[in-house]
Every structure is written in C-alpha cells, then in structure tokens.
Structure 1
Amino acid sequence: MKLLWWSLAAVLILAGLATVWLPIPTGVPLLALGMIVIVGTSRNAARMLRSRRRKTQPLNHAITWVEDRSPLQFARILKRTRPRKK
C-alpha cells in the first residue's frame, strides 16, 4: 500500500514540475499535494519537514498559510509537522 502512495506522490510531483512554468496555475498545487502525500505516509519525512520548519521561518509561515486554507484532511497532516515549542 505504501508503494501505491509513494507512486502517486511521484506522479504528482513530476506533473507539478512539468507544469510549474505553464501559465495555468497547476504546478504548485500538484507539488504541494505530492509533498502532503509523502509527509502523510512517512514519519521520517514528517520529522525532516518539522526540523526544516523550525529552522526556516518563511517556510513555516508558508506552510501555516497552506494549513489554514486546505481541506481538513490535508491540514491535519500538515499540522503534525508544526515545530514543537520548547
């Protein structure tokens, strides 16, 4: 099952990379969906994203912005990667 999700993520990311330069805004949402699928299926990816969010405030603000505007299922996955307060 994990192979299916990772394959879906790879397809989404490749499609996002292929369409990011087109005038139709489909590249960035496809890249974001691919990232959400990877983070949702891999604890290591979630840990790595949490660490990167802790070190990079602009990235943290951007992902928080996406959390606030995404459907509940996607927002729940992204909220797991919020930096923990010490």
Structure 2
Amino acid sequence: MVALPNLPFHVGFTANLNINYRKPVKADQFVMVKAEFKKGEGRKGYTTATIHDIHGNILVECTALYVSPKNPVVMVANYVKNSLGI
C-alpha cells in the first residue's frame, strides 16, 4: 500500500512480488512491518518491505513492483458494471 499514494490516480496492481523468508514467523508472534517506497517511473512504483520480530531480527524481506493502469476510470466502471450484472 505504500506505493499507491505515489502512483497516478492512486490505483495500482501488483506486477511482481518477491518474498524471502529469513526466519520462521509464528502465528501468535508480535511483528513489526516496515515498508518503503523506493522510486516511481511513470506508471510503475517500486517498494521494499521487511518484517521484524520484537528484538529487531529480520524475519522476512520483500520487493514489489506495482503498475497503475492506463485508464483506471474505465477499469473501475467496468468492475462495478460486472459486479452489479449490468
């Protein structure tokens, strides 16, 4: 979500997502997520994120590429029409 405010029209899709698990993450574990917008190039937004345990150890690292559609207004209108069966 850190990329969306930086994309045209604040709409985007995940084009690429790489996740590297460094250590096990337990279901009942407290974690901290840090996400950063790295750069934007036209309709593309590049981000990184890490998940840390309470001691600061990195559990997960990831990178992502988000792409904003060329015409999001038409895309959203079509989605609404399809959802309503129009």
Band of TM-score, shorter chain? under 0.3
Q: Which has the higher strand share?
A: 2
Please tell me whether Structure 1 or Structure 2 has the larger radius of gyration of its CA atoms. Answer: 2
Q: Which has the higher helix share?
A: 1
**TM-score of the two chains, using structure 1 as the length reference:** 0.23
- Relative contact order, higher structure (CA 8 A, sep 6+): 2
